[in-house]
Amino acid sequence: MKLTFLGAVHEVTGSCTLLEACGKNILIDCGMQQGPDLYENCELPLAPGQLDAILLTHAHIDHSGLIPAMVAQGFRGPIYATEATRRLCTIMLRDSAHIQEFEAQWRNRKAQRAGEPPYEPLYTVAHAEQSLSQFMGYPYHETVEVFPGISLRFYDAGHLLGSASIYLELKEEGEVRTLLFSGDLGNQNRPLIRDPEKPPQADYVVVESTYGDRLHGPRPDYVGQLTQLMQQTFDQGGNVVIPSFAVGRTQELLYLMRTIKEQKLLRGHGDFAVYVDSPLAVEATRIYAAGLTDYYDQETLELLAQGIDPICFPGLQLSVTSDQSKLINEDPNPKVILSASGMCEAGRIRHHLKHNLWRKNSTILFVGYQSEGTVGRKLLEGAERVRLFGEDIAVHARITNLAGISGHADRDMLLDWLENQKEAKTIYVNHGDDEVCDTFAASVTQALGVPSIAPFSGDEYDLITGQCTAKGRIVKLTRQSDGRRRANSIYEKLLSAGKRLLHIIEQSKGLTNKELARFTDQINALCDKYSKK
């Protein structure tokens, strides 16, 4: 019974942890690295074809984004998630695959011109589709047998629709251990979804620490802030442009906009229009609105009981085609434009910035974290000009952010969530920036009196003895890479396929003699074919 930390260790993105128990290899999350990479993550110590299952905490790409890459390399096992996570993944993994294919096309055009070998996408839409067929969606709190000896339960993590903490019970050779993964834990009092709930005591806990070194302060008045900002901007005849993350944040903003409209908080602009200009955000909004009642908070359920759609209102325009997108800028009336990407690095938001940044009367409102080096960060730091579509655009619009809006629990909320875990043998801290992980681990030990460790990539722990059985190599990257794991070479893929074959052979013991003989013949035929060369 072993736990190996792979990704999102001393970093925030690329969540991935390997559990080996009852003869099975199981990944908890399989996320894509986003933004600059600080440490080199060690590779998965087995071929993806040797994986038996993936357990997924939530749909964000930094937790789910490499699942289709595992499928592309031979993973055919089940993927366990909540039903809402499964549905959100149907759009997010397809969208991610489109981005991979698009990037590969663009790189290949460059490679061709430079006479370089072709670049292969990390995965394709077909791989994403295949992975979706391996998903199984479950409700919160149901005990699910993953394999004999291994069962799981999802608890609401309050971070995104369907987001979950995963509680595992492992029985191996008469020993029983329980293991809890927090997943990303949400902030309190978010629109639409419930606050994080506290799962029962476990022997070992893996907890995130994104904001493990800070406090969010008193709960901000989002509706009040938004109303004031829209009133000022609309009075001047300008637009409010919101670069927003398509899944989650956009729907929360729609909830706030509906409140503003319903309570008639804006003077003189009661019929204001709100455009959602991001195909992914529009699809996500449809999933949010599709009656996933098990996942909504009490307020949302009460609205539904009164026949009110919590994220829909008169004046809401869901535009999809790029022609419809262009028409938005021809509408002279003051309006709200919600568009992706949230950090202004890609997508249709860039068109809306081009049309509004130079206008003194418009407002660009940020509603989420802006990574270093992104257009969003530059704007927030007061850039006077930015480059979009090869054009220098002067920044005259008001640039501001919605104070206090965050999708993650702060330090005290994380410690409060750990209240039930005082009897844990060890608490592992991951999913936080380099120093934040260590700072939060120290806070945990101090507050709970439980040994707490922030592991590095490759660190391996025996869950029976609780001992560290292997240490990963700590490789701090000096050069910023784009973070994504490179597509393997064709030869590495062959090697991986070979390991998968061996894994299947090892699991074929129970087959009939006839089946075994046929399998052997086919392998020998394959070997004969290639050993001649």
**Is residue 438 close enough to count as binding Zn ion by CB under 5 A?**
no
> Whose Cβ is closer to Zn ion: residue 62's or residue 277's?
62
* Burial tier of 392 (Cβ tally within 10 Å: 0-12, 13-18, 19+): exposed
Tokens, residue 120: 């292969």
Region near Zn ion per CB under 5 A, out of 52-60, 149-157, 214-222, 261-269: 52-60
Region near Zn ion per CB under 5 A, out of 56-64, 216-224, 262-270, 437-445: 56-64
Name the E strands within 196-304.
Answer: 204-208, 240-243, 273-277
> Whose Cβ is closer to Zn ion: residue 209's or residue 300's?
209
> Whose Cβ is closer to Zn ion: residue 49's or residue 199's?
199
For CA atoms 479, 484, 489, 492, give the dihedral sign: positive
Q: In sequence order, what are the residues at sequence separation of 6 or more whose Cβ sits closer than 8 angstroms to the Cβ of residue 173?
A: none
Region near Zn ion per CB under 5 A, out of 54-62, 66-74, 325-333, 339-347: 54-62
Region near Zn ion per CB under 5 A, out of 87-95, 183-191, 220-228, 379-387: 183-191
Candidates 193, 260, 184, 229; CA nearest to 403 is 229
> Whose Cβ is closer to Zn ion: residue 120's or residue 184's?
184
Phi, psi (degrees; rounded to nearest 5) at 39 = -120, 155
Q: How far is the CB of 519 from Zn ion (least distance, A)?
A: 41
Q: How far is the CB of 259 from Zn ion (least distance, A)?
A: 24
CA angle 419, 425, 426 (to 5 degrees): 80
Region near Zn ion per CB under 5 A, out of 55-63, 75-83, 221-229, 344-352: 55-63
Region near Zn ion per CB under 5 A, out of 48-56, 180-188, 311-319, 442-450: 180-188
What value does the CA radius of gyration of the chain take, rounded to a whole number of Å? 25
> Within 10 A of 113 (CB to CB), how many other CB atoms are there?
8
Question: Which of 34, 55, 60, 64: binder of Zn ion (CB under 5 A)?
Answer: 60
> Whose Cβ is closer to Zn ion: residue 169's or residue 184's?
184
Q: How far is the CB of 29 from Zn ion (least distance, A)?
A: 8
Tokens, residue 254: 């729609």
Q: How far is the CB of 140 from Zn ion (least distance, A)?
A: 17
Region near Zn ion per CB under 5 A, out of 177-185, 261-269, 481-489, 491-499: 177-185
> Whose Cβ is closer to Zn ion: residue 62's or residue 156's?
62
> Whose Cβ is closer to Zn ion: residue 184's or residue 195's?
184
> Whose Cβ is closer to Zn ion: residue 83's or residue 184's?
184
Span 290-329, contacts to Zn ion by CB under 5 A: none
Q: In sequence order, what are the residues at sequence separation of 6 or more whose Cβ sits closer than 8 angstroms to the Cβ of residue 151?
A: 143, 144, 145, 168, 169
Task: Count the site residues for Zn ion by CB under 5 A.
Answer: 3
Question: Which of 20, 184, 252, 283: binder of Zn ion (CB under 5 A)?
Answer: 184
Contact (CB, 8 A) for 231 and 355: no
For CA atoms 478, 484, 490, 496, give the dihedral sign: positive
Helix (H) or strand (E) holding 302: helix 298-305
Span 217-246, contacts to Zn ion by CB under 5 A: none
Quote the CA–CA distance of 373 and 371 in Å, as a whole number: 6
Q: How far is the CB of 212 from Zn ion (least distance, A)?
A: 13
> Whose Cβ is closer to Zn ion: residue 60's or residue 411's?
60
Tokens, residue 361: 């009367």
Q: How far is the CB of 177 from Zn ion (least distance, A)?
A: 25
> Within 10 A of 123 (CB to CB), how many other CB atoms are there?
26
Indicate the DSSP class of residue 273. E
> Whose Cβ is closer to Zn ion: residue 60's or residue 350's?
60
Q: In sequence order, what are the residues at sequence separation of 6 or more whose Cβ sits closer than 8 angstroms to the Cβ of residue 482?
A: 36
Q: How far is the CB of 63 from Zn ion (least distance, A)?
A: 6
Contact (CB, 8 A) for 178 and 167: yes
> Which residues sit at the interface with Zn ion, rule CB under 5 A?
60, 62, 184
